Structure 1
Amino acid sequence: MGADDGWHWNDAWIFVSAVIAERLERDRALHAALPVTGASFADVLAAADFLHHAVPSRDELEFSMRRLAGAGLLSVEDDLVEIAPAGEQLWRTRPFSGLSSAVMTLQAQLNRASAPGDWEWTLDEQTYMTALREYRTRLADGR
C-alpha cells in the first residue's frame, strides 16, 4: 500500500475522526479560556470509536496520518493533531451528509480532491499505548 494507490476508507475514517476530535478540543479550550492546541491522539481514538465502534490500531493510525499529513490535510506535532488549512477547506466543501455517512462521503471527496501523500513519520508504540490508555480511562470514567 503506497501513496499512489488512492485513498482508503481508513484514511477517511481517521480524517473525520481528527476533525471531530479537533473541533471538540477547540470548543473545550475556548469555553475554558485556554489556548487552542489541537486534538490529542486519545481524542482521535475516542472520535474514531464513536464513528465506527472500533479503535484504530497503531499501524492503521500511523499509515493514515502519514498519508493525510503528506497530502497537507493535517499536521501532527508530538501527540497533537490539527487540521491544516487544506483539510479545513476539504471538510467545508464536502457534500453535506450526517455522521453516519461522513466517512464514505469524505473518501469520495478525498479521491476527487488530491492524492495521498507520504510523510516520513512514525507513531511509536509507547505514544500509541499512552493514548489508548488515556482513552480507555476516560471511557471507564464516563467522560
Structure 2
Amino acid sequence: MGVGGWHWNDAWIFVSAVIAERLERDRAIHAALPVAGATLADLLAAADFLHHSVPSREDIEGSVRRLSGAGLITVDDDMFEVAPAGEQLWRTRPFSGLSSAVMTLQTQLNRSAEPGDADWTLTDQAYAAALREYRLRLADGR
C-alpha cells in the first residue's frame, strides 16, 4: 500500500506479538502466575525467531503506533497484548506455517483494517534495556 498503508514490518511485529504473548501466557499458566502479556524483550525474541533479525527501535515504534491505533494490539506499562480485534484477525487468517505467517498477515491487514496512529513512544533507553535483556537470555540459553 501507499505511504499511509500497512508495511511489512507491521505484519512482522504483529505476528511477533502473537507469538510472544502466547508463550508468556503458557509460562504464566504453568507457573500459576497471573497472565500479564509480553515484554518488549519477549517481542524482540519472537521477531528474531521469525525473521532472524531484531527490529529497530523506529520499526517497532511505527508498527506499534499503527497496530495499536487500529485496535489490534494494546500496550500498557510496556506489556504487549493482542487485542480482541487482533485475535479475530489472527484466527481468521488463511492457515499457513510460521515461515509465511508474516506475508499472510500483511495481506490480511491490507484487506481488513486501516492502520491507526496511536500516541506511543519507544524511548532509546527502553529499547536498549529490552535489547540487553534479550541478549542476556540468548547468552543464558533461554
TM-score higher than 0.5: yes
**TM superposition shift of 1:79:** 1.5
Match of 2:132 in 1: 133
TM-superposition CA deviations, 1:27-52 (whole Å, max 9, x none): 00000000000000000000000000
Unaligned runs of 5+ in 2: none
Match of 1:23 in 2: 22
Match of 1:80 in 2: 79
Structure 2: distance between partners of 1:136 and 1:77 = 23
TM-score w.r.t. the length of structure 2 is 0.97
% same residue: 77
**TM superposition shift of 1:6:** 1.4
How many residues are matched?
141
Match of 1:95 in 2: 94
Structure 2: distance between partners of 1:69 and 1:19 = 13
Q: Which amino acid aligns with 2:61?
A: E
Q: Segments of 4+ in structure 1 off by > 2 A?
A: none
Match of 2:115 in 1: 116
Structure 2: distance between partners of 1:91 and 1:39 = 17
3-state SS, counterpart of residue 81 of structure 1: strand
Match of 1:58 in 2: 57
3-state SS, counterpart of residue 72 of structure 1: coil
3-state SS, counterpart of residue 76 of structure 1: strand
Structure 2: distance between partners of 1:123 and 1:50 = 21
TM-score w.r.t. the length of structure 1 is 0.97
Aligned-CA RMSD value: 1.0
